[in-house]
Structure 1
């Protein structure tokens, strides 16, 4: 049942205002800055995939100013072991996410909200639960793993199906890892973020802890585990 309390409304307004500010900041990025950030994000994710050698990865096709660039699925697929699979989301009418295998750029079709989706067989909303690595979009993430999405709740539903031990990673632009974000009970935390300048950092997504961001080894840079 929706929460219509004063506190819940304050949180929703705070989220709305934060989204507007973050989207405006992303739109203000120049094309060269976006391209440079995409290259560094891709390099970090490729290094992570080659280190983990996952058998199933879920990701997405970045649109507009989202970090990673529109060719991110092709780059990730090329880095995976030959017997591994990359799944991309298919947005359902109720805004939940189904999943289908990425087979190449020619297998993507235009979908709602500017997204591109694979046109192959759908594997069901539960397919994300079997992923070894889940790459998640967001506008910002705070130091406890709380993410701010675009407001549809699609990835909160998907993340609710992901085991707690699975690595969930959000690519961000510099400055989008923040101290704190407004959160609601249905919001699902993520375990790591990846930014162009600082690479990958693991987060404390556990309730009530203040451990914050821990250093991590990433492409070309060593921070210690």
Structure 2
């Protein structure tokens, strides 16, 4: 039986994926610099000593300049490792560590696995998204890893999704298991959307 919410999510993800593929290398480079500056300012604003982030794919807003700068500043950065059971494991970011292809075919670091609950100790979560709406509802890429993680953390820290400017929408389709985010980080701004939603 067709699910209208799933169908709407699939259609929107396809449109967003296509838009991202059309970005020029120059636009991606500019976006990477903006994302790094916005994330560094957010870390300072939150006063975070430990954060979770992720290794971006080529289609995503670039996170590596921020990751390298954060580690150089002495901030503990945890990076996710996908598991076959649908949970995320975590490793400490090391700019010199090898990168391999994870369960979903996305880049993941090689390192000592800390276990799914390691993320409970971060002061700020930085996560990927396809889009976010103005109420803070996030549209992910359909696997549910981050929704499960966010939903399982007691006293969850602020959660910010990294997106391109055009991906902050008026509304995204959502289901009961979808988790809102505190705000978004784009190449040009950081916006708090749902401070009470976390």
Same fold (TM over 0.5): yes
Deviation at 1:160, TM superposition (A): 1.0
Q: Does the CA contact (< 8 Å) of 1:63 and 1:115 recur in 2?
A: yes
Taking a change above 3 Å as real, the CA distance of residues 131 and 66 of structure 1, as seen in their structure-2 partners, is same
Counterpart for residue 38 of structure 2: 44
Counterpart for residue 136 of structure 1: 127
Taking a change above 3 Å as real, the CA distance of residues 99 and 42 of structure 1, as seen in their structure-2 partners, is same
Counterpart for residue 82 of structure 2: 91
Taking a change above 3 Å as real, the CA distance of residues 115 and 89 of structure 1, as seen in their structure-2 partners, is same
Alignment of 1:36-185 (within 5 A): 36-79=30-73, 82=74, 84-163=75-154, 166-185=157-176
Q: Does the CA contact (< 8 Å) of 1:68 and 1:171 recur in 2?
A: no
Counterpart for residue 180 of structure 2: 189
**Greater relative contact order (Cα 8 A, min sep 6): structure 1 or 2?**
2
Counterpart for residue 31 of structure 1: 25
Larger radius of gyration: 1
Deviation at 1:205, TM superposition (A): 6.0
Q: What secondary structure does 2:165 align onto?
A: coil
Q: What RMSD, in angstroms, separates the aligned Cα atoms of the two structures?
A: 1.9
Q: Does the CA contact (< 8 Å) of 2:35 and 2:66 recur in 1?
A: no
Taking a change above 3 Å as real, the CA distance of residues 111 and 165 of structure 1, as seen in their structure-2 partners, is closer
Per-residue displacement from partner, 1:20-39 (whole Å, max 9, x unpaired)?
A: 00000001111100110111
Q: Does the CA contact (< 8 Å) of 1:129 and 1:161 recur in 2?
A: no
Provide structure 2 residue ranges, at least 5 long, that are not aligned to the other structure.
none
1:203 partnered with 2:197: no
Counterpart for residue 8 of structure 2: 14
Tell me the TM-score normalized by structure 2: 0.91
Taking a change above 3 Å as real, the CA distance of residues 55 and 70 of structure 1, as seen in their structure-2 partners, is closer
Tell me the TM-score normalized by structure 1: 0.80
Structure 1: distance between partners of 2:38 and 2:24: 21
Structure 2: distance between partners of 1:113 and 1:146: 23
